[in-house]
A and B are shown apart, each in its own frame.
Chain A
Amino acid sequence: MMNYLFSIALLMMDGIKYTLEIFFVTIILSMPLGLMLTFFRTSKIKIVKAITGFYVWIMRGTPLLLQLFFFYYGLALISDNPLFREALTLSRMQAALVAFVLNYAAYFCEIFRGGLLAIDKGQYEAAKVLGLSKKQTLTKIVLPQLLRVTLPSISNESITLVKDTALVTAIGVTEILYFAKARVNADVNASAYLVAALFYLVMNFVLTKFFAYMEKKYSY
């Protein structure tokens, strides 16, 4: 029995790299992108604000699975021009990464927007009378506080992301769940799901510990 579980786990190792790749690429790209969207979303220029609002509405208002299907199966079909079709045809992994980054950026945009509202306007005034430039105010005063107040939400979002990576199995990316499903079908034995569940649990355990440490380290 132990041997059987172990052999499944070994097989899944191959899938882990995709799970991890999706996780890290998404986190690393969607946070800065989300932050940028936050500034657009709170821009004084009405049209910029409106477009960003529309984007966030679409991304948060439709299923991530649908977005995955769209980028993998649908995107290339929007043009009849073969050249365009070629350019818009994404590999499974590319489609997965594009969908995840764009989707999570919308969520981070809203998280950071909430965090921005939590920063007292007295902070900007104090920075201004001390002579700090707009950029210095942003990097030295606003961003550190923004990251600190949104840390619990970022932690939450990361845990959701770990679980969401399993969705890409639907467009055939060979990550953990893909292998688990294949094993279950082949061996008519559900243990592979258990092993997959363990992988996700361990990843989320590590993440939770990491964020707890960060929250403690940056508490004030």
Chain B
Amino acid sequence: MKMLEVKGLKKSFGDLQVLDGVSFSVEKGETVAVIGPSGSGKSTMLRCLIDLEKADAGDIMVENEFLMQDGVYVQDKKAQQICAKMGMVFQSFNLFPHMSVLDNLVCAPVSVKKEPREQAIQRAKKLLQEVGLSDKADVYPSALSGGQKQRVAIARALMMNPDMLLFDEPTSSLDPQLTSEVLSVMKKLAEEKMTMVVVTHEMGFAKEAASKILFMCDKEIIAEGTKEDIFDHPKDRRIKEFIDSILS
């Protein structure tokens, strides 16, 4: 079953065109890595999917429902309902600094879904345990390391029971050791067949955990395939250049 289908997505910021006909799809349970040079529009593409950025043209379909059809968005209410199927994890974590870790997790399910607080707390504690942060429930985000913050952010997104998670460079502001603790949580999610779209500079993660890799360059997805297709037999000169630049 298709979780996500994007066709001919276009987006400009003023005169600057950032996306020029991006098309791809994501199957349920798939982990898709999006790689490519800086400024190629990866973040913009991801942000369009969850309505943080308005695209100009194209189709976005989530679980066979249109978020945008032919450049026209569905009504706000409907859009909210569709976006609620997705969660997002940001490079800069964006935890709520005035809430404890537990409240960060509990806030949305209680206020958006009207889940009983006690029940949300139980779920939150379980999720914190799964990301290895049981002992941090009552501290404020300022007392956490970057890797811990990001794991809290992942748990917070999971609290809303999304069908799909979007990650925008979740480890780019972390040093290597902290990166690995976040990646291991993400790999676990991949094994549990959570559908994920991950924009990343971590080629290791793309190779190990991704079932499909999208290569984005010059406003488009210029290649799509398995890790062998992209890394071992790149068809486009630009892919080869990018991989060489990363390895060197």
Task: Report which A residues bind B (CB closer than 8 A).
Answer: 120, 122-123, 125-126, 128-133, 136, 140-141, 144-145, 148, 218, 220
Contacts and interface: CB of A to CB of B under 8 A. Distances in A.
A130 B98 contact: no
Interface string B78-122: 001001101110101111111000000001100111000000000
B52 interface: yes
A125 B94 contact: yes
Interface of B: 50-52, 80, 83-84, 86-88, 90, 92-98, 107-108, 111-113, 140-142, 156-157, 160
Contacts of A128: 51-52
B58 to A, nearest CB: 21
A126 B97 contact: no
B6 to A, nearest CB: 18
Closest 7 CB pairs between A and B? Answer: A126-B94, A122-B94, A130-B108, A131-B112, A129-B88, A220-B140, A144-B98
A126 to B, nearest CB: 4
Nearest to A125: B52
Contacts of B108: 130-132
A125 B91 CA distance: 12
B96 A126 contact: yes
B112 A132 contact: yes
Given A122-B94, A126-B94, A220-B97, A132 B140 contact: no
Contact of A131 (B90, B93, B98, B160): B160
17 contacts: A120-B92, A122-B90, A122-B94, A123-B96, A126-B90, A128-B51, A129-B52, A129-B86, A129-B87, A130-B87, A130-B108, A130-B160, A132-B108, A132-B111, A140-B107, A148-B98, A218-B98
Contacts of A145: 97-98
B87 to A, nearest CB: 7
Contacts of A133: 112
Nearest to B108: A130
Nearest to A133: B112
B83 A129 contact: yes
A185 to B, nearest CB: 52
Contacts of A122: 90, 92-94
B185 to A, nearest CB: 18
Nearest to B47: A125
A218 B142 CA distance: 13
Nearest to A135: B111
A220 B112 contact: no
A146 B141 CA distance: 17
B80 A131 contact: yes
A126 B140 CA distance: 17
Contacts of B107: 130, 132, 140
Given A130-B112, A131-B112, 5 more contacts: A120-B92, A122-B94, A131-B160, A140-B111, A220-B98
Contacts of B97: 145, 220
B82 to A, nearest CB: 11
Most buried by B among A120, A125, A132, A148: A125
Most buried by A among B94, B107, B140: B94
Contacts of B98: 144-145, 148, 218, 220
B50 A129 contact: yes
Contacts of A218: 98
Contacts of A131: 80, 83-84, 108, 112-113, 160
A11 B111 CA distance: 54
Nearest to B112: A131
A122 B47 CA distance: 12
A125 B96 CA distance: 11
A123 B153 CA distance: 12
Nearest to A137: B111
Contacts of A125: 52, 88, 90, 94
B47 to A, nearest CB: 8
